[in-house]
Amino acid sequence: MPRAPDVSCRGRARWLVAAALSLAAVLCGAGGLVALAGDGANAGAGAGAGDGAGVDGKDARGASPANGGERAEGATPVQEVGASSARPLGTPPRPAEVAPPPSSRRPWAAGRRPAAPPPLEGKTYDFALDAKVAGGAEKSWLGRAFVHPRAAEEPRPMPLLVFLHGINGELIRYRWMGGGQEGDVRRIASELMDAGSAPPMLVAAPSAVIPAATAVARTSWPQFDLARFVDLTVERLAGIATVDRSRIVVVGHSGGGCNATGGIVSAVHGAMPVHAALVVDVCMDADVAARLGRVRDTTHVVVSWQTLSWAKRPFRDFERVFRREVAQSPAAPGVLRELEHLRPLEPMPHDAMVPLVLRRWLPALLGPDALPDVPCVSP
């Protein structure tokens, strides 16, 4: 990642805004990925009691012309509106935005069926935690780990990306890791490694296929034990690749981040320190905000959400509680406590949030200029 000119973060921010205004047409033509909106009144618009309707269901994934989901690709340039969620608590600036490569853009808006993806380079390894060892069927899972060719050649310990999927009423095996239709985290990570945007990393995910563990968002992934999952991942990859336990990034998507005592919340409060938690389009409940705001002071926390297909959530309560808890338990210097409202330009915005967030944040969290080693991340 190239370093920024030798100017202050604030000065560069002013320069970027001016450049964005003058080069909007160029950005549009480049296929801007997302428009950022303020997380105050705009983010709260339409937010009700937040009953979680649509979590990982058709309402959450579907996009209709009424909600803007069928917006033409590149119609809105990348831009920042107001101070909002960019650096809500005086943290370093957000990373440069990572546009998806042309090969990954979906042709659905043009009425064409998406082409079959190319073969996935790398090897996948399966393992499991059975009910007897886990202490109950609801805590058991199937596990899958992925080793990219660049990771297979890396002699040093590597970061580990752990992905927690949302509710799984269909009981799909290895959701987001080769199973289901939403996407594939292995491919997203591979794109970043192939482009040199992120260093060699390992990818692993548990797969919940027991109704008691995945049927309801707010009870999904009960008491998820991250340390045990990492231990079993390390054991499965013994002799193949080495995990750097100091660089564990946990992602909780949708129902993977709705349980105040499970999922990504239990992961960041477990025995194993977590380098970063990416909380992606979850239920936004206040009790989850309270737990996420009081993590270890060395753990980066980024909460990202969209309102195109899931607007009925208590955003204002979440923000209020999160900010209060962070103020009482501040992060270490340079460690992120980020809230951001994103606007995906692809259909199925709930699912589109996963690649969008990973492309935005993994390079900044794991790359050569990884936070907090430098005060600004170059666009």
- pLDDT score of 113: 64
Tell whether the model's pLDDT for residue 163 goes beyond 90: yes
Amino acid 214: pLDDT: 86
Amino acid found at 134: A
Q: Is 2's pLDDT higher than 70?
A: no
Q: Tell me if 80 sits within 8 A of 88, measured CB to CB.
A: no
Give the torsion through C-alpha atoms of 3, 297, 284, 261, to 10 deg: 140
pLDDT for the residue numbered 114: 65
* Integer Cα distance of 198 and 355 in angstroms: 14
SS3 category, 256: helix
What is the band of 369 on the pLDDT scale with cuts at 50, 70, 90? Answer: low
> 192-225, pLDDT tens digit by residue?
999 999 999 999 999 998 888 888 999 999 989 9
Q: Which residues are CB-neighbours of 12 under 8 A, at least 6 positions away?
A: 4, 5, 93, 376
**Beta pairing class for 141-147 and 123-129:** antiparallel
- Give the pLDDT score at 68: 31
Residue 304: which pLDDT band, with cuts at 50, 70 and 90? Answer: very high
**Residue 205: HSE in the Cβ half-sphere, 13 Å Cα cutoff:** 25
- The answer to whether residue 100 scores a pLDDT higher than 70 is no
Spell 85-107 as b/e; 16+ CB within 10 A means b. Answer: bbbbbebbbbbbebbbeeeebee
**Mean pLDDT across the stretch 178-189?**
95
> In the structure encoding, which two tokens stand for residue 376, read together?
């600004």
Q: What is the pLDDT of residues 289-302, one digit of tens each?
A: 999 999 999 999 99
Q: Return d(Cα 90, Cα 336) in angstroms, integer.
A: 9
DSSP at 262: B
Range of lowest pLDDT (89-93, 280-284, 330-334): 89-93
Condensed to tens digits (0 to 9), the pLDDT of residues 113-125 reads 667 778 899 999 9
Q: CA quadruple 242, 358, 31, 90: dihedral positive or negative?
A: negative
pTM above the 0.85 mark?
no
- Tell me if the bond preceding 199 is cis, omega within 30° of 0: no
As a whole number of angstroms, the distance between CA 246 and CA 228 comes to 15
The Cα–Cα gap between 201 and 249 comes to: 10
> Strand (E) positions, the chain?
123-129, 141-147, 158-164, 202-207, 243-253, 276-280, 300-305, 337-341
pLDDT of 147 strictly over 70: yes
Smallest CA-to-CA distance from 300 within 267, 271, 326, 278 is with: 278
- Check residue 222 and give its pLDDT: 93
DSSP single-letter state for residue 311: -
Structure tokens at 127: 């393992």
More confident call, 350 vs 99: 350
Average pLDDT over residues 77-89: 33
Higher local confidence (pLDDT), 26 or 174: 174
pLDDT at position 152: 96
Handedness of CA 213, 320, 313, 302 (dihedral sign): negative
Any idea of the CA torsion for 184, 189, 194, 197, to the nearest 10 degrees? 140
Contact 66, 112 (CB under 8 A): no
323 has pLDDT over 60: yes
